[in-house]
A and B are shown apart, each in its own frame.
Chain A
């Protein structure tokens, strides 16, 4: 199963091999979880959204367009599910992030780093995380998919179902906003 492409696994599943879909889950679920976790900033919600994403994909697998990429399709479902989750939750205020800081306790830094380096790295991660929380959902999606999942702008435009130029401009605006937010956070408080 591991040597088969996503398209081959889907074909096998449709032909009646029920283990083939498990192969797709094993291949993509952690990446979808990482993405939704960064979008939602909550482990339980990311778990639920990831589960919901694969259930939706499983229910609609026969409608899947074989000319498209499964990865972008599944990320598109995940993005929409995360967006719905956020909408239900209403907008999370920037300050409320502090309540969920324990979510990042699971980040295990590189063992090779010295204590002060670990501290610095965690501080930087925290800065980026807080800055990401403050930018609009679409901009955040573009940055997370480009840097986190190493997707091309073409793939991201498939995920968000928007023209590539729109995605590029969202990405640029996101970088500008992130830079400004991180600088503001780093600036000494009066």
Chain B
């Protein structure tokens, strides 16, 4: 008798699936916005650290060491001294920051695109 008043509700499955997809789309949108902001921030970081690195390279004499390396092959016999001088003149901190923000930009941009594809699949 308990089974006799079994009921089904047409469209229930689709209602639940739509609701879950709606929540998923909102979540994905929020994450996408986060990664988008991170991409934008890291892009600004790339520009700023790029300008900083370029200025340091121009003033530190690193270019001179590099041009010496290509113009005079004999200098290679003094490679240890040359490497040390070059390392001293390079903006290590600036380059490290540039590489870090570059990696961050690539990662966040990739995640943003992945999430965009996922969002499209949900629609």
Contacts and interface: CB of A to CB of B under 8 A. Distances in A.
A33 B7 CA distance: 8
A132 B121 CA distance: 45
A51 B19 CA distance: 8
Interface in A1-60: 18, 21-22, 25-26, 29-30, 33-34, 37-38, 43, 46-47, 50-51, 54-55, 58
A129 interface: yes
Contact of A129 (B5, B6, B8, B15): B5
A29 B16 contact: yes
B4 interface: yes
Contacts of B122: 18
A119 interface: no
Given A124-B1, A147-B3, A148-B2, A22 B8 contact: no
A107 interface: yes
Nearest to B4: A125
A26 B12 CA distance: 9
Contacts of A54: 16, 20
B8 A30 contact: yes
A106 B6 CA distance: 10
Contacts of B58: none
Nearest to B122: A18
B8 A33 contact: yes
B17 interface: yes
Interface residues of B, number: 19
A144 interface: yes
Q: How many residues of A sit at the interface, in one of the four size bands?
A: 20 to 34
Contacts, number: 69
Nearest to B6: A34
A55 B23 contact: yes
Nearest to A106: B7
Contacts of B17: 22, 25
Interface in A85-139: 104, 106-107, 121, 124-125, 128-129, 132
B13 interface: yes
B117 interface: no
A184 B102 CA distance: 79
Contact of B16 (A51, A125, A128, A132): A51
Interface in B66-113: none
B5 A50 contact: no
Q: Which 7 interchain pairs have the tightest Cβ spacing?
A: A147-B2, A54-B16, A128-B1, A125-B5, A148-B2, A26-B13, A30-B8
Given A34-B6, A54-B16, A55-B19, 15 more contacts: A21-B20, A29-B13, A30-B8, A33-B9, A43-B7, A51-B19, A55-B23, A106-B7, A107-B7, A124-B1, A125-B1, A125-B4, A125-B5, A128-B1, A128-B5
